[in-house]
Structure 1
Amino acid sequence: RKHDDHLAGASVAAVYMILVTNIYLIFEVGHLERAMTDMAQIKPFNLTEVGKMLPYCYYTAITLAVMTYPVCVFLIYSVQNRLYMGMFAYVAWFIFYDLANCLIVALVYQVSKEAWFSLSPLEWFGLATRIPMDCFWLSFVVTYALMIIESKGQGRLSLRMRRSSRIVSEPPRFRLSQVIHFYLKPHV
């Protein structure tokens, strides 16, 4: 059961990150459009070289977000095929990704002061709420990867626990982890 919970948690981590990235891209494209509109109203000679960097900050954030999609798909593949190195690569990517986004928001804040552009409070709020949630879901990925390493060290072929017999009159329990595992399991 512990195995199934962590398998489901690691799989849901990838799905969660895909959904969050969709939302993040919608907001970042909106922030970029707003920045471009505001910058167009500033006379070009009043815009410093630092101020001209503002769109490139958003371009970088959007590029990093788009690169997240294949990383999430790779996590789903790694979870289903029990590739712990793939899971650790995912964790490394998201540590880099969150740090890069912190730097980008800080840089946008500095550049926005020079460009007479106000940074949206949603950018700070989005970053402040996403990082704790990323840590929560990454804990499932790390735990599941460690369980795989441990099982390979013990020489077990399967992480599945033996099922105990049930009384026939007891109805089967519905578990989200079983549904996710069924749909994500490769069917031959």
Structure 2
Amino acid sequence: MLNIRSLCSRLKKLLSGDVCGLNAKEGTIVAGLFMLMVSIMQLIFEAGHFRYLKAHFRSTDNDYSNLFAFCIGTITFTCLTIIAVILLFLFIWKELFWGVAGYITWIFLYEISKICFLSILMPGNSGLPSSVKALEWFGLTMRLLSHIFWMLFVTAYAIELYKISRNTDDSSKNKRKTPPKLKFAKVKELGV
């Protein structure tokens, strides 16, 4: 039986980034590896689209300009995402808050651009089989659902880095108060 108290404790554990035996930093690394794997798969998929379009473009007189724009745009954004993942690993290593926060921003921009590409540049009469369009939308949906899970880790790690950077930037918190130096007299001065 699930009660409110156990639900709240599970949500706190989830939001703290300690899920599946991973802390926030480890989860961020795995999130980067996940996005790297997905990006490589997306590049392979879009290269297949590109080969398909080149073969069919020569044999027919149909206008494939939207599909070419879709393929080029998707390949460009995917290559930029691979660069963003590599930079994420660098920012994790250097423990830079702004880099991890920038990665979160990039993922949101990437997914919004993918939704726009799919809805605008891939119309119903594009020339691709309907199974490919369905696969594109399915891939987008699954990636969005996966990002919800992985962004918990990345956001928790960004918050940790922000707290660390805020504490190190505040010089008044860093100064340790040392006790006053005590002066001890030498034996000769005491007259013993």
Q: Same fold (TM over 0.5)?
A: yes
For residues 15 and 52 of structure 1, the distance between their equivalents in structure 2, rounded to whole angstroms, comes to: 33
SS at match of 1:36: helix
Alpha-carbon deviation of 1:2? Answer: 6.3
Question: In the alignment, is residue 5 of structure 1 matched against residue 23 of structure 2?
Answer: yes
Return closer, same or farther for 1:2/1:141 CA change in 2, 3 Å cut-off. Answer: closer
Equivalent of 2:48 in 30, 41, 64: 30
Equivalent of 2:128 in 105, 117, 124: 117
Q: Which runs of 5+ in 1 are unaligned?
A: 157-188
Question: In the alignment, is residue 91 of structure 1 matched against residue 104 of structure 2?
Answer: yes
Q: Is the 8 A contact 1:71 1:90 kept in 2?
A: yes
- Identity rate of aligned residues, in percent? 23
Alpha-carbon deviation of 1:151? Answer: 3.2
Q: Is the 8 A contact 2:88 2:103 kept in 1?
A: yes
RMSD: 2.4
SS at match of 1:24: helix
User: How many residues in Structure 1 have an aligned counterpart in Structure 2?
Assistant: 149
Q: What per-residue deviation string (whole Å, max 9, x for no partner) do you get for residues 43-85 of structure 1?
A: 2xxx34xx42321210110111111122111111111221110
- Map 1:156-167 onto structure 2 (within 5 A): none
Between 146-155 and 25-34, the greater mean CA deviation after superposition:
146-155
Highest Rg: 1 or 2? 2
TM-score (norm 2): 0.69
What letter matches 1:118 in structure 2?
A: P
For residues 66 and 117 of structure 1, the distance between their equivalents in structure 2, rounded to whole angstroms, comes to: 23
Question: In the alignment, is residue 58 of structure 1 matched against residue 71 of structure 2?
Answer: yes
- Map 1:1-188 onto structure 2 (within 5 A): 5-43=23-61, 47-48=62-63, 51-110=64-123, 113=125, 115-119=126-130, 120=132, 121-154=134-167
What letter matches 2:59 in structure 1?
A: Q
Return closer, same or farther for 1:86/1:37 CA change in 2, 3 Å cut-off. Answer: same
Q: Which runs of 5+ in 2 are unaligned?
A: 1-15, 170-192
SS at match of 1:95: helix
Question: 4+ runs of 1 displaced by more than 4 Å?
Answer: 1-4
